[in-house]
Structure 1
Protein backbone atom coordinates (compact mmCIF):
# COMPACT_ATOMS: atom_id res chain seq x y z
CA UNK A 1 0.00 0.00 0.00
CA UNK A 2 1.36 3.38 -0.93
CA UNK A 3 1.53 6.07 1.72
CA UNK A 4 0.22 9.55 0.98
CA UNK A 5 2.83 12.22 0.53
CA UNK A 6 0.56 14.75 2.25
CA UNK A 7 0.26 14.43 6.04
CA UNK A 8 -3.19 13.74 7.37
CA UNK A 9 -5.08 16.87 8.12
CA UNK A 10 -6.36 17.34 11.67
CA UNK A 11 -9.76 18.61 10.57
CA UNK A 12 -10.61 15.39 8.71
CA UNK A 13 -11.08 13.45 11.95
CA UNK A 14 -14.33 13.93 13.85
CA UNK A 15 -13.99 14.78 17.46
CA UNK A 16 -16.70 15.22 20.12
CA UNK A 17 -16.63 18.98 19.63
CA UNK A 18 -17.67 18.50 15.99
CA UNK A 19 -20.74 16.51 17.07
CA UNK A 20 -21.64 19.14 19.66
CA UNK A 21 -21.39 21.88 17.04
CA UNK A 22 -23.54 19.88 14.60
CA UNK A 23 -26.19 19.16 17.25
CA UNK A 24 -26.26 22.84 18.24
CA UNK A 25 -26.71 23.93 14.63
CA UNK A 26 -29.58 21.43 14.06
CA UNK A 27 -31.30 22.53 17.29
CA UNK A 28 -30.98 26.15 16.19
CA UNK A 29 -32.58 25.41 12.81
CA UNK A 30 -35.47 23.53 14.46
CA UNK A 31 -36.05 26.32 16.98
CA UNK A 32 -35.97 28.96 14.27
CA UNK A 33 -38.39 27.01 12.06
CA UNK A 34 -40.93 26.81 14.90
CA UNK A 35 -40.83 30.59 15.31
CA UNK A 36 -40.77 31.62 11.65
CA UNK A 37 -43.89 30.41 9.85
CA UNK A 38 -44.93 31.15 6.28
CA UNK A 39 -47.95 33.34 5.70
CA UNK A 40 -51.22 31.77 4.64
CA UNK A 41 -51.61 31.18 0.93
CA UNK A 42 -54.39 32.82 -1.03
CA UNK A 43 -55.58 31.79 -4.46
CA UNK A 44 -56.54 35.29 -5.53
CA UNK A 45 -56.66 38.78 -4.15
CA UNK A 46 -60.10 40.23 -3.42
CA UNK A 47 -61.40 42.73 -5.93
CA UNK A 48 -61.04 46.41 -4.99
CA UNK A 49 -63.91 47.60 -2.82
CA UNK A 50 -64.83 44.11 -1.55
CA UNK A 51 -63.97 42.62 1.79
CA UNK A 52 -62.64 39.11 2.17
CA UNK A 53 -64.74 36.97 4.51
CA UNK A 54 -62.90 34.85 7.02
CA UNK A 55 -63.71 31.19 7.51
CA UNK A 56 -66.02 30.38 10.44
CA UNK A 57 -64.27 29.47 13.66
CA UNK A 58 -63.82 25.76 14.22
CA UNK A 59 -65.88 24.56 17.17
CA UNK A 60 -64.41 21.72 19.20
CA UNK A 61 -66.68 18.72 19.77
CA UNK A 62 -67.95 18.10 23.29
CA UNK A 63 -65.61 16.16 25.55
CA UNK A 64 -66.75 13.02 27.37
CA UNK A 65 -64.74 14.01 30.44
CA UNK A 66 -66.95 14.69 33.44
CA UNK A 67 -70.21 13.77 31.69
CA UNK A 68 -72.80 12.07 33.89
CA UNK A 69 -73.98 9.22 31.64
CA UNK A 70 -77.41 7.71 32.47
CA UNK A 71 -75.79 4.41 33.40
CA UNK A 72 -76.06 2.64 36.76
CA UNK A 73 -72.62 1.15 37.43
CA UNK A 74 -72.86 0.73 41.20
CA UNK A 75 -69.40 0.89 42.81
CA UNK A 76 -67.46 0.92 39.49
CA UNK A 77 -67.09 3.82 37.08
CA UNK A 78 -68.53 4.33 33.61
CA UNK A 79 -65.89 3.81 30.92
CA UNK A 80 -65.97 5.46 27.48
CA UNK A 81 -64.68 2.72 25.15
CA UNK A 82 -65.26 4.40 21.76
CA UNK A 83 -66.16 7.86 20.59
CA UNK A 84 -66.55 9.81 17.37
CA UNK A 85 -67.45 13.42 16.61
CA UNK A 86 -69.29 15.09 13.75
CA UNK A 87 -72.13 17.46 12.95
CA UNK A 88 -75.15 15.14 13.12
CA UNK A 89 -77.90 17.77 12.94
CA UNK A 90 -76.36 20.19 10.43
CA UNK A 91 -76.20 23.20 12.77
CA UNK A 92 -72.47 23.74 12.23
CA UNK A 93 -71.54 22.55 15.74
CA UNK A 94 -70.21 19.01 16.17
CA UNK A 95 -71.75 16.44 18.47
CA UNK A 96 -69.88 13.55 20.11
CA UNK A 97 -71.25 10.02 20.10
CA UNK A 98 -69.84 7.79 22.86
CA UNK A 99 -70.01 4.05 23.48
CA UNK A 100 -69.96 3.59 27.26
CA UNK A 101 -70.14 0.64 29.64
CA UNK A 102 -69.43 -0.04 33.29
CA UNK A 103 -65.79 -0.81 34.04
CA UNK A 104 -66.60 -4.28 35.37
CA UNK A 105 -63.66 -6.39 36.56
CA UNK A 106 -65.05 -9.52 34.87
CA UNK A 107 -67.31 -10.37 31.96
CA UNK A 108 -68.56 -8.22 29.12
CA UNK A 109 -70.83 -5.48 30.44
CA UNK A 110 -73.52 -4.20 28.02
CA UNK A 111 -72.84 -1.00 26.12
CA UNK A 112 -74.79 2.22 25.95
CA UNK A 113 -74.49 4.66 23.03
CA UNK A 114 -75.06 8.32 23.86
CA UNK A 115 -75.09 11.56 21.84
CA UNK A 116 -73.48 14.56 23.54
CA UNK A 117 -73.81 18.20 22.67
CA UNK A 118 -72.41 21.35 24.18
CA UNK A 119 -74.92 23.62 25.91
CA UNK A 120 -75.40 27.01 24.26
CA UNK A 121 -75.20 28.87 27.57
CA UNK A 122 -72.31 26.87 28.99
CA UNK A 123 -69.37 24.99 27.58
CA UNK A 124 -70.21 21.77 29.40
CA UNK A 125 -71.27 18.68 27.48
CA UNK A 126 -74.57 16.96 28.17
CA UNK A 127 -76.31 13.80 26.98
CA UNK A 128 -79.15 14.65 24.57
CA UNK A 129 -80.02 11.20 23.20
CA UNK A 130 -79.60 7.52 24.02
CA UNK A 131 -79.20 5.39 20.89
CA UNK A 132 -78.54 2.08 22.69
CA UNK A 133 -79.72 1.51 26.26
CA UNK A 134 -77.51 -0.81 28.37
CA UNK A 135 -80.71 -2.45 29.67
CA UNK A 136 -81.05 -4.05 26.21
CA UNK A 137 -77.90 -6.16 26.93
CA UNK A 138 -76.16 -5.27 23.64
CA UNK A 139 -72.46 -5.03 22.80
CA UNK A 140 -71.47 -2.44 20.17
CA UNK A 141 -68.89 -3.24 17.48
CA UNK A 142 -67.97 -1.63 14.14
CA UNK A 143 -68.89 1.80 15.52
CA UNK A 144 -68.55 4.76 13.10
CA UNK A 145 -69.89 8.23 12.37
CA UNK A 146 -70.08 9.09 8.65
CA UNK A 147 -72.17 11.43 6.52
CA UNK A 148 -74.22 12.69 9.51
CA UNK A 149 -75.15 9.09 10.46
CA UNK A 150 -74.07 6.82 13.31
CA UNK A 151 -73.61 3.17 12.40
CA UNK A 152 -72.75 0.14 14.50
CA UNK A 153 -73.10 -3.60 14.67
CA UNK A 154 -75.03 -4.76 17.73
CA UNK A 155 -74.34 -8.14 19.30
CA UNK A 156 -77.21 -9.44 21.40
CA UNK A 157 -79.12 -12.47 22.58
CA UNK A 158 -82.06 -14.38 21.15
CA UNK A 159 -83.38 -15.16 24.64
CA UNK A 160 -82.57 -14.63 28.31
CA UNK A 161 -81.33 -18.25 28.42
CA UNK A 162 -78.28 -17.41 26.26
CA UNK A 163 -75.21 -16.87 28.49
CA UNK A 164 -73.76 -13.35 28.59
CA UNK A 165 -70.45 -14.61 27.27
CA UNK A 166 -71.86 -15.74 23.96
CA UNK A 167 -74.13 -13.34 22.04
CA UNK A 168 -75.97 -15.20 19.30
CA UNK A 169 -77.62 -12.34 17.34
CA UNK A 170 -75.76 -9.82 15.18
CA UNK A 171 -77.70 -6.75 13.96
CA UNK A 172 -76.37 -3.84 11.90
CA UNK A 173 -77.97 -0.53 12.85
CA UNK A 174 -77.85 3.07 11.65
CA UNK A 175 -79.19 6.25 13.29
CA UNK A 176 -79.89 9.54 11.54
CA UNK A 177 -81.30 12.83 12.87
CA UNK A 178 -84.64 13.73 11.24
CA UNK A 179 -84.98 17.20 12.77
CA UNK A 180 -86.70 16.10 15.99
CA UNK A 181 -85.21 12.71 16.93
CA UNK A 182 -82.67 10.07 15.93
CA UNK A 183 -84.36 7.44 13.76
CA UNK A 184 -82.92 3.94 13.73
CA UNK A 185 -82.80 1.88 10.60
CA UNK A 186 -81.50 -1.62 10.12
CA UNK A 187 -79.69 -1.82 6.75
CA UNK A 188 -79.81 -5.62 6.66
CA UNK A 189 -81.84 -8.16 8.60
CA UNK A 190 -80.65 -9.50 11.93
CA UNK A 191 -78.99 -12.86 11.78
CA UNK A 192 -77.57 -15.38 14.18
CA UNK A 193 -73.89 -15.47 14.89
Structure 2
Protein backbone atom coordinates (compact mmCIF):
# COMPACT_ATOMS: atom_id res chain seq x y z
CA UNK A 1 0.00 0.00 0.00
CA UNK A 2 1.26 3.26 -1.00
CA UNK A 3 0.58 6.38 0.97
CA UNK A 4 0.52 9.71 -0.56
CA UNK A 5 2.35 12.68 0.84
CA UNK A 6 -0.50 14.86 -0.23
CA UNK A 7 -3.67 14.68 1.85
CA UNK A 8 -6.91 13.77 0.21
CA UNK A 9 -8.43 16.97 -1.18
CA UNK A 10 -11.71 15.62 -2.37
CA UNK A 11 -13.52 18.78 -1.27
CA UNK A 12 -11.55 20.81 -3.85
CA UNK A 13 -13.29 19.29 -6.85
CA UNK A 14 -15.21 22.20 -8.35
CA UNK A 15 -18.77 21.46 -9.24
CA UNK A 16 -21.11 23.85 -11.12
CA UNK A 17 -23.04 24.62 -7.95
CA UNK A 18 -19.84 25.88 -6.30
CA UNK A 19 -19.11 28.24 -9.21
CA UNK A 20 -22.69 29.52 -9.14
CA UNK A 21 -22.48 30.22 -5.41
CA UNK A 22 -19.16 32.04 -5.83
CA UNK A 23 -20.48 34.17 -8.71
CA UNK A 24 -23.62 35.08 -6.72
CA UNK A 25 -21.53 36.12 -3.70
CA UNK A 26 -19.24 38.29 -5.86
CA UNK A 27 -22.21 39.96 -7.56
CA UNK A 28 -23.66 40.78 -4.13
CA UNK A 29 -20.37 42.36 -3.01
CA UNK A 30 -20.10 44.48 -6.18
CA UNK A 31 -23.74 45.64 -5.89
CA UNK A 32 -23.27 46.58 -2.23
CA UNK A 33 -20.14 48.55 -3.05
CA UNK A 34 -22.05 50.46 -5.70
CA UNK A 35 -24.83 51.38 -3.28
CA UNK A 36 -22.62 52.33 -0.35
CA UNK A 37 -20.74 55.39 -1.61
CA UNK A 38 -19.24 58.14 0.56
CA UNK A 39 -20.92 61.57 0.57
CA UNK A 40 -19.72 64.08 -2.01
CA UNK A 41 -16.84 66.28 -0.94
CA UNK A 42 -17.45 69.99 -0.49
CA UNK A 43 -15.00 72.86 -0.62
CA UNK A 44 -16.45 74.68 2.38
CA UNK A 45 -14.42 75.50 5.45
CA UNK A 46 -15.09 73.54 8.65
CA UNK A 47 -18.06 75.01 10.50
CA UNK A 48 -19.36 76.97 7.51
CA UNK A 49 -22.70 76.25 5.89
CA UNK A 50 -22.71 75.81 2.12
CA UNK A 51 -24.93 78.37 0.42
CA UNK A 52 -26.95 76.79 -2.33
CA UNK A 53 -29.35 78.97 -4.26
CA UNK A 54 -31.67 77.16 -6.60
CA UNK A 55 -34.03 80.10 -7.19
CA UNK A 56 -33.17 82.39 -10.07
CA UNK A 57 -33.00 86.10 -9.38
CA UNK A 58 -36.22 87.90 -10.20
CA UNK A 59 -36.45 89.94 -13.38
CA UNK A 60 -35.67 93.65 -12.98
CA UNK A 61 -38.66 95.83 -12.07
CA UNK A 62 -38.96 98.86 -14.39
CA UNK A 63 -40.74 100.92 -11.70
CA UNK A 64 -37.50 102.24 -10.22
CA UNK A 65 -35.66 102.93 -13.47
CA UNK A 66 -35.19 106.37 -15.02
CA UNK A 67 -35.81 105.65 -18.72
CA UNK A 68 -33.84 107.77 -21.22
CA UNK A 69 -36.90 109.47 -22.73
CA UNK A 70 -37.16 113.22 -23.29
CA UNK A 71 -40.81 114.08 -22.72
CA UNK A 72 -40.65 117.83 -22.03
CA UNK A 73 -43.11 118.41 -19.19
CA UNK A 74 -44.91 115.09 -19.65
CA UNK A 75 -44.15 111.88 -17.78
CA UNK A 76 -42.92 108.70 -19.40
CA UNK A 77 -45.08 105.57 -19.12
CA UNK A 78 -44.30 101.90 -19.55
CA UNK A 79 -47.02 100.50 -21.81
CA UNK A 80 -45.79 96.89 -22.08
CA UNK A 81 -43.19 94.71 -20.40
CA UNK A 82 -41.93 91.13 -20.64
CA UNK A 83 -39.05 89.21 -19.09
CA UNK A 84 -36.72 86.40 -20.13
CA UNK A 85 -33.07 85.42 -20.30
CA UNK A 86 -31.89 87.14 -23.47
CA UNK A 87 -28.12 86.69 -23.21
CA UNK A 88 -27.99 83.13 -21.85
CA UNK A 89 -26.40 84.03 -18.50
CA UNK A 90 -29.19 82.42 -16.46
CA UNK A 91 -30.56 85.75 -15.17
CA UNK A 92 -33.69 87.25 -16.70
CA UNK A 93 -33.75 90.68 -18.31
CA UNK A 94 -36.87 92.85 -18.55
CA UNK A 95 -37.81 94.47 -21.85
CA UNK A 96 -40.11 97.49 -21.68
CA UNK A 97 -42.05 99.45 -24.26
CA UNK A 98 -42.31 103.06 -23.12
CA UNK A 99 -43.48 106.39 -24.47
CA UNK A 100 -44.19 109.91 -23.33
CA UNK A 101 -47.65 110.35 -21.83
CA UNK A 102 -48.74 113.00 -24.33
CA UNK A 103 -52.46 112.70 -23.69
CA UNK A 104 -53.48 112.66 -27.37
CA UNK A 105 -52.36 111.19 -30.65
CA UNK A 106 -49.97 108.27 -30.82
CA UNK A 107 -46.61 109.28 -29.37
CA UNK A 108 -43.67 107.24 -30.66
CA UNK A 109 -42.51 104.31 -28.57
CA UNK A 110 -39.11 103.19 -27.37
CA UNK A 111 -38.00 99.69 -26.41
CA UNK A 112 -35.44 99.30 -23.62
CA UNK A 113 -33.69 96.26 -22.14
CA UNK A 114 -33.17 96.34 -18.37
CA UNK A 115 -30.85 94.21 -16.28
CA UNK A 116 -30.06 93.95 -12.60
CA UNK A 117 -27.38 96.39 -11.52
CA UNK A 118 -24.58 95.46 -9.14
CA UNK A 119 -26.37 96.50 -5.97
CA UNK A 120 -27.65 99.70 -7.57
CA UNK A 121 -30.99 98.39 -8.80
CA UNK A 122 -32.13 97.81 -12.38
CA UNK A 123 -30.53 99.76 -15.22
CA UNK A 124 -31.00 100.24 -18.96
CA UNK A 125 -28.41 98.25 -20.93
CA UNK A 126 -29.77 98.54 -24.47
CA UNK A 127 -32.18 100.57 -26.57
CA UNK A 128 -33.82 98.47 -29.28
CA UNK A 129 -36.17 101.15 -30.67
CA UNK A 130 -35.72 104.89 -30.27
CA UNK A 131 -38.60 107.41 -30.32
CA UNK A 132 -36.84 109.34 -33.10
CA UNK A 133 -37.82 106.45 -35.41
CA UNK A 134 -41.46 107.59 -34.98
CA UNK A 135 -42.92 104.11 -34.58
CA UNK A 136 -45.30 102.65 -32.05
CA UNK A 137 -45.37 99.04 -30.87
CA UNK A 138 -48.27 96.66 -31.51
CA UNK A 139 -47.70 93.00 -30.62
CA UNK A 140 -44.76 92.45 -28.31
CA UNK A 141 -43.20 89.37 -26.65
CA UNK A 142 -40.05 87.91 -25.13
CA UNK A 143 -39.72 84.23 -26.01
CA UNK A 144 -36.89 81.73 -26.46
CA UNK A 145 -34.18 84.34 -25.89
CA UNK A 146 -35.59 86.79 -28.43
CA UNK A 147 -37.66 89.98 -28.42
CA UNK A 148 -40.35 90.15 -31.11
CA UNK A 149 -42.51 93.13 -31.92
CA UNK A 150 -44.82 94.54 -34.56
CA UNK A 151 -43.76 98.11 -35.31
CA UNK A 152 -46.40 100.50 -36.59
CA UNK A 153 -45.36 103.52 -38.62
CA UNK A 154 -46.35 106.03 -41.28
CA UNK A 155 -45.75 106.12 -45.01
CA UNK A 156 -45.64 109.94 -45.07
CA UNK A 157 -46.04 112.96 -42.77
CA UNK A 158 -49.55 113.43 -44.22
CA UNK A 159 -50.85 110.28 -42.46
CA UNK A 160 -52.66 111.24 -39.22
CA UNK A 161 -50.80 110.16 -36.06
CA UNK A 162 -53.88 108.24 -34.89
CA UNK A 163 -53.74 105.84 -37.79
CA UNK A 164 -50.39 104.24 -38.68
CA UNK A 165 -50.46 102.76 -42.18
CA UNK A 166 -47.24 100.70 -42.14
CA UNK A 167 -46.50 97.54 -40.21
CA UNK A 168 -43.20 95.71 -39.76
CA UNK A 169 -42.53 92.55 -37.75
CA UNK A 170 -39.08 92.55 -36.18
CA UNK A 171 -36.99 90.36 -33.91
CA UNK A 172 -33.95 91.13 -31.75
CA UNK A 173 -31.54 88.46 -30.53
CA UNK A 174 -28.31 88.65 -28.53
CA UNK A 175 -25.46 87.70 -30.87
CA UNK A 176 -21.78 88.54 -30.63
CA UNK A 177 -22.20 90.79 -27.59
CA UNK A 178 -25.02 92.94 -28.96
CA UNK A 179 -28.68 92.82 -29.98
CA UNK A 180 -29.11 92.09 -33.67
CA UNK A 181 -32.35 93.11 -35.39
CA UNK A 182 -33.85 90.90 -38.09
CA UNK A 183 -37.16 90.79 -39.91
CA UNK A 184 -38.91 87.40 -39.81
CA UNK A 185 -39.91 85.93 -43.17
CA UNK A 186 -43.62 86.63 -42.60
CA UNK A 187 -43.11 90.42 -42.24
CA UNK A 188 -45.28 92.50 -44.53
CA UNK A 189 -46.85 95.95 -44.92
CA UNK A 190 -50.46 96.85 -44.07
Aligned partners of 1:162, 1:190: CA distance in 2, in Å?
21
Aligned counterpart in structure 2 of residue 107 of structure 1, from 88, 98, 105: 105
2:60 maps to what in 1?
A: 62
The answer to whether the 8 Å contact 1:169/1:190 transfers is: no
The answer to whether the 8 Å contact 1:111/1:139 transfers is: yes
When normalised by structure 1's length, the TM-score is 0.70
Unaligned runs of 5+ in 2: 1-34, 42-49
The answer to whether the 8 Å contact 1:114/1:130 transfers is: yes
Map 1:83-162; keep pairs closer than 5 Å: 83-119=81-117, 121-162=118-159
1:164 pairs with 2:153: no
The runs of at least 4 aligned residues of structure 1 exceeding 6 Å deviation read none
Aligned partners of 1:179, 1:59: CA distance in 2, in Å?
24
Number of corresponding residues = 147
The answer to whether the 8 Å contact 1:79/1:100 transfers is: yes
Which is greater in Rg? 2
Unaligned runs of 5+ in 1: 1-45
Aligned counterpart in structure 1 of residue 175 of structure 2, from 151, 160, 178: 178
Aligned residue for 1:97, secondary structure, equals strand
The answer to whether the 8 Å contact 1:143/1:150 transfers is: yes
Aligned residue for 1:65, secondary structure, equals helix
Aligned residue for 2:163, secondary structure, equals coil
Distance 1:87-1:108 versus aligned 2 partners, 3 A rule: same
When normalised by structure 2's length, the TM-score is 0.71
